[in-house]
Amino acid sequence: MYLRATTNAILDVETHTGGMTQDEAMALMVDGAWQEVDEARGKWLRARLSSTQLSTYFVGSLEMWDLEMAVRQRLAVAAGAGAEAVTAQRIRGGVGETPGFDYRTHLERVISYGTPPVKWCRELALRDLEAGSA
């Protein structure tokens, strides 16, 4: 998914600022990111019709991973393990176990806020952790 989000952002930017052709876009998505041909055609169309839509998936995923890391660090500290108990990311996602952190609980907390921008979800989640509703 990280490769897909990154590829989408490249496609979006290059289509609007770099003059990427359809053949280049298809090669990027199909050969470079293992996307299906029909899906790639649809993304090529979307990229040409609306700028920044595909890039928002990439930016949103980065924000969600940053939120997750902040929550993991807070919960590790609360569990007495310290923030250093959270494994540093070499690539987004795939951090492993963190003392006090449950992935399902984290996701349920985030979706309980509805659909505000991620920066507000982050603020709400960290506020809730401070208030003790981990």
The yes-or-no verdict on residue 91 having pLDDT over 60 is yes
Identify the pLDDT of residue 96. Answer: 81
CA angle 128, 133, 134 (to 5 degrees): 95
Identify whether the C-beta of residue 89 lies closer than 8 Å to the C-beta of residue 69. Answer: yes
Residues 37 and 87 in one domain: no
Model-level pTM? 0.74
The yes-or-no verdict on residue 129 having pLDDT over 60 is yes
Q: Write down the mean pLDDT value for the chain.
A: 89
Give CA–CA dist 115/134, Å, rounded: 20
The yes-or-no verdict on residue 14 having pLDDT over 80 is yes
Which of 51, 75, 91 is the last residue before a domain boundary?
51
Give CA–CA dist 25/65, Å, rounded: 27
33 lies in which domain range? 2-51
Residues 91 and 112 in one domain: yes
